Each structure stands twice: as structure tokens, then as C-alpha cells.
Amino acid sequence: MSDHDFKKSTYSSGDAHGECVEVARNIPPTVAVRDSKSPDGPVLHIVPGAWNTFLRLVHSHTRSTPH
């Protein structure tokens, strides 16, 4: 059992495909990321600076892309 407190984005769809990532930030010094379809699968551990850069890039791309 993992001590990570994984959360799924509120933007995630609740459909049967469940193509989402889950993120846990409760165990420093890393941000843990896993595939929601495989909760017992591998977990990526990313340093917070790299994670924050990734989020900034995603947010800037979504704001500049027409929906």
C-alpha cells in the first residue's frame, strides 16, 4: 500500500476509458505521477521544479489554443 495521496484532475472524464494521470504531492521531495488505469503500476517521481515547469507549459499551451 502506498502512502501517496493521489488525486485526479477535475478535468478528467469519468468515462470507462479513464485516460487520466493521478498526482500526489504529499511526500516530499518529489511529485509522484501514475496512470489512473494502473494504480499498482509504476510511479514517476519528478522534482517539483520540473513539475512546475511542465504545468506552466501546459497552461500556456491551453490558453493559446482555440477550443
The domain ranges of the chain are 6-10+18-62
Residues of the chain with pLDDT below 70 are: 1, 13-18, 64-67
Per-residue pLDDT, 18: 66
Exposure string over 52-65, b if 16+ CB within 10 A, otherwise e: eeeeeeeeeeeeee
Q: What is the pTM of this model?
A: 0.76
How far is Cα 39 from Cα 21, in angstroms, rounded to an integer? 10
Per-residue pLDDT, 24: 96
Per-residue pLDDT, 61: 82
How far is Cα 45 from Cα 31, in angstroms, rounded to an integer? 6
Task: Dig out the grid coordinates for 38 from the structure.
Answer: 494502473
How far is Cα 58 from Cα 22, in angstroms, rounded to an integer? 16
